[in-house]
Amino acid sequence: MNRSERLRSWLLEALAYQPADLTLFETALTHRSADGPNNERLEFLGDAVLGLITAQYLFERFPDADEGSLSRLRSRLVSGESLAQLAAGLSLGELLVLGPGELKTGGFRRESILADALEALCGALYLDGGLAAARAALQRLLAPALQALSLPAELKDPKTRLQELLQARGLPLPRYSVDSVEGELHAQVFRVTCEVETMAAQATASGSSRRRAEQAAAARVLEQIHVQP
């Protein structure tokens, strides 16, 4: 079986993907140290494609997470180390075309080369089949990491942390009430009170939306609970 046949077979097995233009994928797995077209341009494109697909997944998976939390999760998911481990687990290194120097020094195992090749593969998927095809293939590829992904407690918003804390203690959920709404329609200020009767904790906070005010009030209640003996 020649390299092209091996690559086509790998794409079918690993991604359930049938390429229209196999040349794109051959280029995606050709390092710049080798002769001919290499994967640097596809890597550039693939980085953006991978970022978009993972951002959309996280946006839908964690509807209450803020921008900072989502960014940290995405960075963790598509870090060079994570991508290299994923590529190694799929034996992607065996399909790489490297120059003599990289071959001699074991470049097919190098973390940066594996991660770059995986990003280039994302770019090839996008060019060959469009965004929908790339999303389907990448979600299959990233399935184990996506399924294991959870929002760390320190990244969760205050309302979620407060709710989980009370549930863990078998206590009723907090009650939120809107005390007032002031200002013009385009610049309203909401004043909200969060109360946990069973722990005699209560706090009031303001925000430019009801949700932001509730989050701020929940954060103050958490501070009260954490300092209680």
Alpha-carbon separation of residue 122 from 5, 13, 62, 81, 150 (angstroms): 20, 16, 24, 16, 24
- Expressed as residue numbers, the domain containing 104 is 3-151
**One domain for residues 47 and 147:** yes
Q: What is the CATH number of the domain that holds 175?
A: 3.30.160.20
**One domain for residues 47 and 114:** yes
Structure tokens at 197: 């009767």
Other residues' Cβ atoms within 10 Å of the Cβ of residue 91:
11
Specify the higher pLDDT residue, 177 or 58. 177
SS3 16: coil
Binning pLDDT at 50, 70 and 90, where does residue 152 land? low
pLDDT value at 71 more than 60: yes
Active-site residues, by number, are: 47, 119
**One domain for residues 80 and 11:** yes
Instruction: Give the residue among 111, 120, 135 at the shortest CA–CA distance from 7.
Output: 120
**One domain for residues 163 and 147:** no
Place of tokens 């020649």: 2
Measure the CA–CA gap between 207 and 217, rounded to whole angstroms. Answer: 9
Domains contained in the chain, number: 2
State residue 18's pLDDT score. 93
Widest CA span of the chain, in angstroms? Answer: 73
Last residue of a domain, one of 101, 125, 151: 151
Measure the CA–CA gap between 28 and 26, rounded to whole angstroms. Answer: 5
pLDDT value at 36 more than 90: no
**One domain for residues 47 and 11:** yes
Last residue of a domain, one of 97, 130, 151: 151
Element (H, E) at 124: helix 111-141
Last residue of a domain, one of 96, 116, 151: 151
State residue 153's pLDDT score. 57
